Amino acid sequence: MIKHLAIIMDGNRRWAKKNALSYSIGYREGGTAAIRKSLEFALKNGIKFLSLYTFSLENFKRPEEEKDFIFESLMVEGPKQLPYLQEHNIRMCFIGDRTKFPERVIPTITTLEESTKNNSALQLNILFCYGAQQELVSAVKEIVRKVKIGELSEDAISESTIADNLWTRGIPDPELIIRTSGAQRLSNFLLFQAAYSEIFFIKCLWPEITERDLQAALDSYLGVQRNFGV
């Protein structure tokens, strides 16, 4: 069984358009029902880490109205999920460039993280204000800083050094990455961590995801012989 499942949740706006609905309903369906399905699937299958690509640094280019809705939804809906998180022993962590977190959502993020920090059945990673290229740049800068002050030797730098300075430090690399909507790209998602991940593309849009879709991806992973180049 896998330890870490990561999902690129793509297709909220297209689902809304396809069903002649507002984009806000698309985000609401993707942000509540679909996420709950993925959480239940992870718990059922003993997966310890679930990472969801929620808001990328590139998403800041979207219209102000859309961004405001996403941030407001986090502030309103996030605390409503606390009873479920506590009942199911789920820890919630936000991963991304914290200097870019909108100031108004920080109290909500802090509450969700602090309230669930002792939960241990599943760690839900919300990749928020996240970009893999930017994460690597941040790691390089931190490594350079440590070399300059003598905390780290240049000769001691290795793959694990980079991993230890990423925003995801302490989290195992995902064995399986799922992307919905039919698009077949990573879109600046966990580029370093995905070096040996199996990637499964699903045609359905994110709000349409079912347990059967998730199970098909997991079954596909379990049928692959992973030799890591050996």
CA dihedral 95, 66, 14, 135 (to 10 degrees): -20
- For 59, residues 6+ apart whose C-beta sits below 8 A from its C-beta are 67, 70
State the catalytic residue, choosing from 59, 97, 119, 188: 59
Of 10, 12, 125, 165, catalytic: 10
213 is catalytic: no
In what side-by-side order are the strands of the sheet with 122-130?
90-95, 122-130, 49-56, 4-8, 176-179, 198-201
- CA gap 166, 136 in Å, rounded: 7
Q: Is residue 68 among the annotated active site residues?
A: no
Task: Kindly provide the b/e burial profile for residues 61-93, where b requires at least 16 CB atoms within 10 angstroms of the residue's own CB.
Answer: eeeeeeeebbbebbeeebeebeeebeeeebbbb
Within 13 Å and on the Cβ side, how many CA atoms surround 222?
10
- Matching residue, tokens 């997991």: 218
Measured distance CA(118)–CA(121) in Å, rounded: 10
Q: How far apart, in whole angstroms, are the C-alpha atoms of residue 124 and residue 140? A: 26
- Catalytic site residues? 10, 59
